[in-house]
Structure 1
Amino acid sequence: MALSLALTGCGDSDDGVDGLAGIEGSQGLVGEAGDNGVDGTNGTDGVNGSAGTDGVNGVDGTNGVDGLNGVDGKSIPTALSIEVVGRFATGIYGKSAAEIVQFHKTSNSAFSVNAADNKIEVINLTNLPTTQVGSPVSDESLSSSAFTFPSSVTVKDGAGVDKTMQLGAVNSIAIKDDLLALAVEGSVKQENGAILFYSLSALGEGTFIKAVEAGALPDMVTFTQDGLKVLVANEGEPNTDYSNDPEGSITVIAVTDAMPADVATTINMTTDMVFSDDNLDSDDYDTDEKRMELLAKSGVKFAGPAGNTAAKDLEPEYITVSADSKMAYVSLQENNAIGIINLDDLTIEVKALGYKDWGKYQLDFSNTDEVPSFKSVQGLYGLYQPDTLASYTWNGSTFIISANEGDSRDYDAYTEEYRIKDLEDDLGKTLSTELQMQYDETGGKDYLGRLKVTAALGDADDDGEFEKLFTYGARSFSIWDQNANLVFDSGDDFGKISSAILGNNFNAAHTENKGDNRSDDKGGEPEAIEVGEIGDRTYAFIAQERAGDLFVYDITNPFNTAFVAHYNNRDFTVDFELDDGLTEPCDPAEGMDCTDVNMAGDLGPESIKFISAENSPTANPLLIIGNEVSGTVTVYQVTEK
């Protein structure tokens, strides 16, 4: 049972105003009647005076010049038809069997990362239909061939000497023309990983070229638009006891005539960091302590155990590149920041994203009532904390769009994540009088008390009292300018649109059909975002990880955006339960039941790839979405009505 909604509207401009008609001439004055003659003695009556002659009509004024016709307006938003035209199922649930997706035009194939089996699924789309499949939620009409990679590779170190690296899981994939790049972490997650390059054939088969060493935990890889560089976000995530916390970094690999360089360049989070503020001199940020202090003052969130540094705390997540390939933008999710990368001098500037005031919007913050219930909370703020980024150009300038998922640091050795109701018991901290009033008025421990917040912010004077509360994610998507200034945010649209359509199923988890059970965490969790052009309009496509909602916005003009459509390819009547935190997510011994999960539809959308009509095998625009929990890859046809 797939659910969808579309809005339509139009806005043609008025024609120009016609010129004014000339003023008509005045009528001439009528002459007065003459006086009667004086009566004579026994004489005849006097003769009456003659009437005056009518005045001559005035000359008509000249007609004004006709005004120019107005320019035709462009419809905002255009209604879109969203249809499932194909779907691939791995049959693996809760193990990230369909995660990051890409498209190879030469072979008309979708490539999908299958982390469960540590391989790439190559899904041929040559015979994709142009009409919706019969059962969009359970369709399994597409098949795949396997693309595998070795467990160890030889790379060159900085001195050009060969060394062997043991590899772990594949995390990301990128394709430029017929060149494929795979981001694979090391066998130990905190050690350096590698980028594996392949040349793709017309059948989508790969011939290995070389491997290039990257940083710790290469989590995302992408090509610049001109194909001359490969950029890698090395997350540098710590192990659970924080005994090994590598620095985050950006790997840059030069590409010449489709051949990658043997050795990469690294953009670090220390000496390669710059600050554009003219009030600062270079010696104001020439140590890690100074950099961390400046960033924290600007609003960058740091959260970690004693000995934490800016370079260790900053964890690059996802990269998007400007159309001219001169700049790149990387999400620093846990830090609530974006890094602006200059691809000419290979420097990075970190910009804090600020906070979302939930006193001006409404959110559902409790999962215990199991119904949609939206309220504003004064003194509560959201950290945008984007995961996926995309970018596009308007009026010659770059704009970044972000899926504001949110994320916390929650490890055995350190956690910043607490429910509001536990702040006093767990940390010995209280709420300010104003926040306590909000807490009590909203219902206390079973309502606002359920919401998870960070303990790293809110007690600015460190007096044991929270004056403000900060929760994870903004439950929205945003548009930022090239300097990371906020241009647009979708506010509380996602929660309200989803609840209006899904009812009590909104904010459901992706592990069972139970509504409202993510409201106390980060809501629907906008995870994946993509931008694409259809006709003369530019659209943003945003997928929520938990309930599986797909939202479409017209962002042609970033200063005049509009909601267009909603789609959800899930059947909420199917009874299932799995736990993606288990080694075997469907283990019956743990009370799990995946008997009918294949009928539940798409669970946990993780990534989106837009295919333009020009590049599409069907000549219609397509969306490819990888769903990590259901292990499915779904292909949508998206056309203007």
Structure 2
Amino acid sequence: MFNNNNYKVGALALALSMALTACVSDGDDGKQGLKGEQGMPGVAGVEGNDGKNLPRALNVEVVGRFATGIYGKSAAEIVQFHKSSNSAFAINGAANQIEVINLTNLAITEVANPIADESLTSSAFTFPLSVSVINGEGIEKTMPLGAVNSIAIKQDLLAIAVEGQVKQANGAILFYSLNELGEGTFIKAVEVGALPDMVTFTPDGSKALVANEGEPNADYTNDPEGSISVISIVDSFPNNVAKAINLSTDIVFSDDNLVPDDFNTDAKRLAILSKAGVKFAGPAGNTVAKDLEPEYITTSSNSKMAYVSLQENNAMGIINLEELTIEVKALGYKDWGKHQLDFSNKDEVPEFKSIQGLYGMYQPDTIASYTWNDSTFIVSANEGDARDYDGFSEEVRVKDIIDADELNQTLSTELQSQYDESGGKNYLGRLKVTTALGDEDKDGEFEKLFSYGARSFSIWDKNANLVYDSGDDFGKISSAILGNNFNAAHTKNKGDNRSDDKGGEPEAIDIGEIAGRTYAFIAQERAGDLFVYDVTNPFNTAFVTHYNNRDFTVDYEMDDDLADPCDPNEGMDCTHVNEAGDLGPESIKFISAADSPTSKPLLIVGNEVSGTVTVYQVTEL
């Protein structure tokens, strides 16, 4: 019997098979088409600039200079810049006023004689000898004032830090509104702590921060506590009363192994901080708050954190501006067994050696900050400083440690061997060190030596961990260029004069951006060296250039410990100081191209010994 369904299935399968075979088989290719017409040529692209090697070369040149004619009296110290009036503001400690130096017509090429130029002039900004302030209880009182120490400018708001008439008493911050001529209208004065040594504004302008150093008097019978004052500002108008961050109960520790009961007394805080490496040196009755002396403040870009150098203590304070607390971090020590330094001023030549067991305390003075990869980094000028008062001194030369008529103690076998090999009392024996460290077990033998300052600049992360240090660059660069004049004093032209102390003493530092790169500008107080480093990437820092605006052939001598540093009755001679150039750079202020009156990046440097303010133009070569 015929099955119709089977027939239908078979026919369908055959049809599908033929269809698939047809899909697999391609037809013959067609003939090649005619070639189309040539298209219109594209527009030529802009020729790119040649790439630049790193570090980029910078040209540093003097384009203006102001001279007070006052020598050795701190007649040009801290400098700032007011954009609205195109003026540099400089503290004149000798006259206890501020010099306002108009830069509107500043040159854009180097002056004819950078060392002796006096092309800039000033007008005096004065302030009263006493002010009315409101204390913490809301009571108004009159405060007699002493010397001006610091200034800060935020837009048109000027803050002046002035110590009390008695240096150990509370001081004040005087606020002024500045006009387009750089003239000020007094707003108010706010009481702060003892010896306000530095004032700055947060980047958002919401706070003025004050480092109250609290130095003791000469015989150490009056040693006020150091502190940080925080003054709130709303619409450029400061609050009547400052908030204080004390250096006792406001100290915190981030170590989770510590609980509040572990540091709820001064003795406990002192023990923890000492064990961590914070240096304390003072007479009987010394406390943490008395010993810590805030020196210089910088802030994070978001205005939430601040950082303060605690110079004598070889430490940094990390300040939480929202919680008003401070954490004190030891900075550690520089191993001079891994670097080289010149430690004698007797040979009067640059000679660098490593000493095993010798360490440098960083002890930064000026600090500044910048941001890389959204993190804050702090740069420090590692000047060094000793507590050396009539009533207490920690300072001693190495030779005096082993002198029977001085300390009458000993050096370890290794240190004594290096002491002898160096040449003894006129060589390693000349170096000044601290008695507060080195004899850890108090057995009369110094196993280590700790000198003042690190003769360098450093970069620290936001937790005060060391990221970079310039090592022995400063001494070697300066000696290579200045020869025997390196480490010269600033009170006379005598080379190698400061090698036994703290070397060139890096004092001032600021950060600035030029053509997309970030630079650190560091000035040494003694010989007057200016160093420039590319710090764009803090983990890949590089030296860029060096400048020194001084004539070492000029014969002069002064003593800044005298009432008249140029007193001829004391054998001083300042006849030709004005020909010697810039002496004792104390502060640096970087001015960006966007803010500069010449549209070129500038550096303003205050030189306290020569009483000069020098303006440098810094451009890419």
The two structures share one fold, judged by TM-score above 0.5? yes
Q: Could you tell me which amino acid in structure 1 is paired with residue 474 of structure 2?
A: F
After TM superposition, give the deviation of residue 424 of structure 1 in Å: 2.6
1:596-615 maps to which residues of 2 (within 5 A)?
A: 596-615=576-595
1:238-387 maps to which residues of 2 (within 5 A)?
A: 238-387=216-365
CA distance in 2, matches of 1:410, 1:423: 16
CA distance in 2, matches of 1:154, 1:501: 52
Q: Which deviations, in whole Å up to 9, do the C-alpha atoms of 1:328-363 show, x marking residues without a partner?
A: 000000000000000000000000000000000000
1:166-181 maps to which residues of 2 (within 5 A)?
A: 166-181=144-159
CA distance in 2, matches of 1:282, 1:416: 32
Q: Which deviations, in whole Å up to 9, do the C-alpha atoms of 1:415-452 show, x marking residues without a partner?
A: 00000000133222110111100100111000000000
Query: What is aligned with 1:493?
Result: 473
Give the conservation status (yes or no) of the 8 Å contact 2:135–2:241.
yes
Pair 1:452 & 2:415 matched: no
Q: Could you tell me which amino acid in structure 2 is paired with residue 122 of structure 1?
A: V
Any gaps of 5 or more consecutive residues in structure 1?
A: 1-71
Q: Which deviations, in whole Å up to 9, do the C-alpha atoms of 1:386-419 show, x marking residues without a partner?
A: 0000000000000000000000000011100000
After TM superposition, give the deviation of residue 160 of structure 1 in Å: 1.4
CA distance in 1, matches of 2:270, 2:341: 32
Give the conservation status (yes or no) of the 8 Å contact 2:281–2:291.
yes
Query: What is aligned with 1:543?
Result: 523
CA distance in 1, matches of 2:460, 2:271: 24
Q: Could you tell me which amino acid in structure 2 is paired with residue 604 of structure 1?
A: G
Aligned residues, how many? 571
Indicate the SS of the match to 1:427.
Answer: coil
Structure 1 runs of 4+ aligned residues shifted over 2 Å read: 72-75
Query: What is aligned with 1:49?
Result: none
Give the conservation status (yes or no) of the 8 Å contact 2:340–2:352.
yes
CA distance in 1, matches of 2:409, 2:204: 53
Q: Which deviations, in whole Å up to 9, do the C-alpha atoms of 1:19-52 show, x marking residues without a partner?
A: xxxxxxxxxxxxxxxxxxxxxxxxxxxxxxxxxx
Residue 439 of structure 1 is aligned with which of 405, 416, 419?
419
Q: Which deviations, in whole Å up to 9, do the C-alpha atoms of 1:230-274 show, x marking residues without a partner?
A: 000000000011110000000000000000000000000011000
Indicate the SS of the match to 2:402.
Answer: helix
TM-score (norm 1): 0.89
Q: Which deviations, in whole Å up to 9, do the C-alpha atoms of 1:208-251 show, x marking residues without a partner?
A: 00000010000000000000000000000000111100000000
Residue 486 of structure 2 is aligned with which of 500, 506, 509?
506
CA distance in 2, matches of 1:261, 1:339: 24
CA distance in 2, matches of 1:226, 1:165: 30
Identity %: 79
Residue 473 of structure 1 is aligned with which of 450, 453, 478?
453
CA distance in 2, matches of 1:91, 1:193: 29
CA distance in 1, matches of 2:328, 2:82: 33
1:89-100 maps to which residues of 2 (within 5 A)?
A: 89-100=67-78
Query: What is aligned with 1:142?
Result: 120
Sort the Cα spacing of 1:556 and 1:371 in 2 relative to 1 into closer, same or farther, 3 A.
same
Residue 185 of structure 1 is aligned with which of 146, 163, 169?
163
After TM superposition, give the deviation of residue 161 of structure 1 in Å: 1.3
Q: Could you tell me which amino acid in structure 2 is paired with residue 218 of structure 1?
A: P
After TM superposition, give the deviation of residue 76 of structure 1 in Å: 1.3
After TM superposition, give the deviation of residue 159 of structure 1 in Å: 1.7
Indicate the SS of the match to 2:146.
Answer: strand
Q: Could you tell me which amino acid in structure 2 is paired with residue 220 of structure 1?
A: M
- Root-mean-square deviation (CA, aligned residues, Å) is 0.9
CA distance in 2, matches of 1:616, 1:278: 47
Query: What is aligned with 1:587?
Result: 567
CA distance in 1, matches of 2:413, 2:109: 59
Q: Could you tell me which amino acid in structure 2 is paired with residue 478 of structure 1?
A: S
Residue 372 of structure 2 is aligned with which of 368, 382, 394?
394
CA distance in 2, matches of 1:621, 1:75: 21
Give the conservation status (yes or no) of the 8 Å contact 2:400–2:408.
no
Indicate the SS of the match to 2:273.
Answer: helix
Query: Which piece of structure 1 moves more, 73-82 or 445-454?
Result: 73-82
Residue 121 of structure 1 is aligned with which of 99, 116, 129?
99
Pair 1:518 & 2:518 matched: no
After TM superposition, give the deviation of residue 178 of structure 1 in Å: 0.2
After TM superposition, give the deviation of residue 73 of structure 1 in Å: 7.0
Pair 1:638 & 2:612 matched: no
Give the conservation status (yes or no) of the 8 Å contact 2:524–2:530.
yes
CA distance in 2, matches of 1:424, 1:218: 39
CA distance in 1, matches of 2:411, 2:269: 31
Give the conservation status (yes or no) of the 8 Å contact 2:602–2:615.
yes
After TM superposition, give the deviation of residue 512 of structure 1 in Å: 0.4
Q: Could you tell me which amino acid in structure 2 is paired with residue 301 of structure 1?
A: K
Q: Could you tell me which amino acid in structure 1 is paired with residue 437 of structure 2?
A: L
After TM superposition, give the deviation of residue 475 of structure 1 in Å: 0.1
Residue 554 of structure 2 is aligned with which of 555, 566, 574?
574
Q: Could you tell me which amino acid in structure 1 is paired with residue 153 of structure 2?
A: I
CA distance in 2, matches of 1:432, 1:394: 44
Pair 1:111 & 2:89 matched: yes
Q: Could you tell me which amino acid in structure 1 is paired with residue 462 of structure 2?
A: Q
Query: What is aligned with 2:176?
Result: 198
Query: What is aligned with 1:6?
Result: none
Residue 221 of structure 1 is aligned with which of 181, 199, 205?
199
TM-score (norm 2): 0.91
Sort the Cα spacing of 1:286 and 1:73 in 2 relative to 1 into closer, same or farther, 3 A.
farther
Query: What is aligned with 2:387?
Result: 409
CA distance in 2, matches of 1:562, 1:605: 23
CA distance in 2, matches of 1:75, 1:165: 57
Q: Could you tell me which amino acid in structure 1 is paired with residue 609 of structure 2?
A: V
After TM superposition, give the deviation of residue 74 of structure 1 in Å: 6.0
